[in-house]
Amino acid sequence: MNTTKKLICSSFVSAALLSPTANAEIAANVAIQSDYVWRGISQNQEDPSIQGGFDYAHDSGFYAGIWAASVDFGGDESTEADLYAGWGTELDNGLGIDVGIIEYTYHGGPAAGGDFTEYYVGLSYSGFGITYSIGDEFDDNIEVSYGYDFESGVSLGATYGDYDSYSYYQVGVSGEVEGLGLDLSYWDTDLDAEPLADGRVVLTVSKEF
């Protein structure tokens, strides 16, 4: 992800925590993926990736968090750590709105780098979603998605995106078994000459606390 943002939101977090009427929640998550794929491209040389993070959510719609994953780009980078913050709400007509900022940072040896920032705005309605992201280092990204939840607890999802002169898509099924989240997805791109962007199936096992 993924997604993250900077401490420009720290003042908002402090205000929310100090408010006597504030209702907030902090949650944690951990996961292992057979391959960490972001926008259709492997971030870990097609090897498994360990991931986890913390999320803060306030009744006002404000949220913030940190998320990290093991990565391998062939250089010194071994860990991606993302900081994020945003605001989201759902209007009375069912239209969802989400705006925020993500700071992607990379850590490891002395030559680790490549940090960048993205700003995003998203709309959702009745299972459909569209998100526009613009960064300070790469081209903008437009992503459309659809998700459907069955009464059994199984969910189906699909995503198509156009990013940095290539396109990608994902289709998957997810659910929960014995308290563990399971997701099986197929990713592919139109980058025929890039082996790390070939079509692949990714299994994710996760747990929320």
| Architecture (CATH level 2) of domain 7-208 | Beta Barrel (2.40)
- Rounded Cα gap, residues 161 and 94, in angstroms: 24
Tokens of 161: 């995106």
| All structural domains of the chain with their residue ranges | 7-208
Token pair 């997805």: residue:
185
Please tell me the pTM assigned to this model.
0.87
Going by DSSP bridges, is the β-strand pair 96-108/49-58 parallel, antiparallel, or unpaired? unpaired
pLDDT values of the chain reduced to their tens digit, one per residue, 209 residues:
443 333 334 333 334 444 444 688 999 999 999 999 999 999 999 999 999 999 999 999 999 999 999 999 999 999 999 999 999 999 999 999 999 999 999 999 999 999 999 999 999 999 999 999 999 888 899 999 999 999 999 999 999 999 988 999 999 999 999 999 999 999 999 998 899 999 999 999 999 99
